[in-house]
């Protein structure tokens, strides 16, 4: 009995000065404004449960047109326990002849784990494109910020998992940036030298304003 009493005294000594301010984790309070790093203030520890650290939707991303691929992801938006931990995960499913279009993650590197099928993965630098055909039990890394793509180069569907080094990674698909928003055709033409007809054709596909 005395032992237990002493233990609590000891614990409370440690607790009062040190543990009370420690940060074992910081589950996002998504209702508060986020900060430049992309993280959120912490929700009070008393309200945290193990479910804040679990996401149950990393299911098949149903492939859709025009690229015949689909994506699901676990980021801080649906897995608030990721907050501040600089990690996220994605699952990509690519139909036959499908691709993941050229895109970049401005704030994250990506490590792609091939789970099913055969894919050709590449990333692009000004000097050179690095392209490789990979298969299950291969992993390939895409350095932060570089444009990259995945092409289903096998005969069946393909499945990959991606680990990303940000808990709220952006996805900048080149086509959506150039042809899917309100950037005018003439600006795109002037600053890329693409033909206006080509631009208009793709704005039609990707939903950009004319």
What residues from 110 to 139 belong to the interface with its own copies (CB under 8 A)?
110-111, 113, 115, 120, 122-132, 134, 137-139
CB of 12 vs its own copies, minimal distance in Å: 9
For the chain, give the number of residues: 210
Q: CA separation (Å) from 141 to 44, 96, 131, 148, 162? A: 36, 23, 11, 10, 9
Q: Which of 94, 140, 158, 185 binds its own copies (CB under 8 A)?
A: 140
200 binds its own copies (CB under 8 A): no
For the record, the structure tokens of 31 come out as 């209702």
Which 36-65 residues touch its own copies, going by CB under 8 A? 36-39, 41-45, 49-51, 53-59, 61-62, 64-65
**One of 96, 156, 195, 196 touching its own copies (CB under 8 A):** 195
* Contact track, its own copies, 3-22, x by CB under 8 A: xx-xxxxxx-xx--xxxxxx
For the record, the structure tokens of 107 come out as 């704030």
Identity of the residue, 75 or 156, whose beta carbon is nearer to its own copies in the bound complex: 75
Q: State the minimum distance, in angstroms, from the CB of residue 158 to its own copies.
A: 14
Closer residue to its own copies, CB minimum distance, 86 or 157: 86
Two tokens, residue 61: 């991303």
For the beta sheet containing 147-152, the strands, ordered from the edge strand earlier in sequence to the opposite edge, are: 129-134, 119-124, 147-152, 99-104, 172-173
| φ, ψ at 111 (rounded to 5°) | -115, 115
Provide the sign of the torsion angle of the four alpha carbons 11, 13, 14, 20, taken in this order: positive
Query: Does 1 sit near its own copies (CB under 8 A)?
Result: no
Nearest CA-CA partner of 162 in 88, 77, 69: 88
The verdict on 96 binding its own copies (CB under 8 A) reads no
Q: Could you say which residues in the range 161-190 bind its own copies, by CB under 8 A? A: 161, 163-165, 167-178, 180-183, 187-188, 190
Helix or strand or coil: residue 124?
strand
């Amino acid at each position: 009995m005395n032992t237990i009493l002493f233990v609590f005294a000891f614990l409370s000594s440690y607790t009062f000065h040190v543990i009370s301010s420690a940060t074992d984790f910081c589950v996002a309070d998504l209702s508060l404004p986020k900060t430049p790093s992309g993280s959120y203030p912490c929700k009070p520890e008393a309200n945290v449960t193990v479910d804040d650290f679990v996401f149950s939707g990393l299911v098949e991303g149903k492939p859709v047109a025009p690229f015949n691929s689909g994506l699901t992801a676990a980021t801080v938006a649906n897995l608030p326990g990721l907050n501040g931990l600089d990690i996220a995960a994605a699952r990509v499913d690519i139909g036959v002849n499908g691709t993941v279009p050229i895109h970049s993650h401005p704030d994250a590197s990506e490590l792609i784990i091939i789970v099913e099928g055969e894919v050709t993965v590449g990333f692009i630098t000004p000097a050179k494109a690095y392209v490789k055909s990979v298969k299950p039990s291969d992993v390939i890394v895409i350095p932060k910020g570089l444009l990259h793509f995945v092409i289903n180069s096998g005969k069946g569907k393909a499945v990959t998992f991606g680990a990303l080094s940000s808990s709220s990674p952006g996805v900048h698909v080149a086509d959506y940036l150039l042809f899917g928003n309100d950037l005018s055709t003439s600006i795109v033409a002037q600053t890329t030298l693409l033909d206006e007809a080509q631009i208009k054709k793709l704005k039609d596909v990707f939903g950009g304003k004319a």
